[in-house]
């Protein structure tokens, strides 16, 4: 099983890559994490936001296989504690399908992506900048794995 993080946005600051990579490299070989970046659609002076979101969504959907379990990050998604995320991760691992986690662009996930999602997750009620979301997501999945593996990283 793999975790694929499909994120709209490229050219992140170096601190994002550093933070994200730090947690990804800690993941065990049986649970590798892959980042797939989707370029943001052009937004000019009078942008057609609906069209931009749809274009980004189409590119995201191209990265998802028919059997993948899809999690869309969404403001109205489920709020989980880290321990509950660990329980979900254990269940998803038993299911055996690859997991695709969708991070939408500045205007959110496309409707088609939300319809394709098997699960909707909210990381926080706070509005987090998209670069930081990548790091938080990687850290939380590492922490969830550490709980399942009885690794001392998680100290609640």
Is 114 among the annotated ligand-binding positions? no
Is 14 among the annotated ligand-binding positions? no
Is 132 among the annotated ligand-binding positions? no
Is 125 among the annotated ligand-binding positions? yes
Is 126 among the annotated ligand-binding positions? yes
On whether the CB atoms of residues 43 and 52 are closer than 8 A, the answer is yes
Nearest alpha carbon to residue 146 among 31, 52, 50: 31
Is 104 among the annotated ligand-binding positions? yes
Instruction: Give backbone dihedrals phi and psi of 42, rounded to 5 degrees, phi first.
Output: -65, 135
Longest Cα–Cα distance of the chain, Å, equals 52
Is 89 among the annotated ligand-binding positions? no
Is 124 among the annotated ligand-binding positions? yes
Report the DSSP beta bridge partners of residue 40.
none
Q: Annotated binding site, which residues?
A: 73, 104, 123-128
Q: Annotated binding site for S-adenosyl-L-methionine, which residues?
A: 73, 104, 123-128
């Amino acid at each position: 099983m793999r975790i694929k993080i499909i994120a709209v946005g490229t050219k992140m600051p170096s601190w994002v890559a550093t933070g994200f990579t730090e947690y990804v490299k800690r993941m065990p070989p049986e649970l590798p994490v892959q980042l797939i970046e989707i370029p943001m659609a052009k937004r000019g002076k009078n942008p057609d936001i609906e069209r931009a979101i749809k274009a980004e969504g189409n590119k995201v959907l191209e990265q998802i296989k028919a059997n993948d379990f899809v999690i869309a990050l969404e403001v109205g998604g489920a709020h989980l504690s880290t321990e509950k995320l660990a329980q979900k991760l254990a269940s998803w691992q038993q299911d055996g399908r690859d997991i695709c986690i969708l991070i939408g662009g500045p205007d959110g996930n496309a409707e088609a992506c939300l319809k394709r999602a098997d699960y909707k997750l909210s990381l926080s009620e706070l509005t987090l900048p998209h670069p930081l979301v990548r790091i938080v997501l990687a850290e939380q999945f590492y922490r969830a794995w550490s709980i399942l593996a009885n690794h001392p990283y998680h100290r609640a």
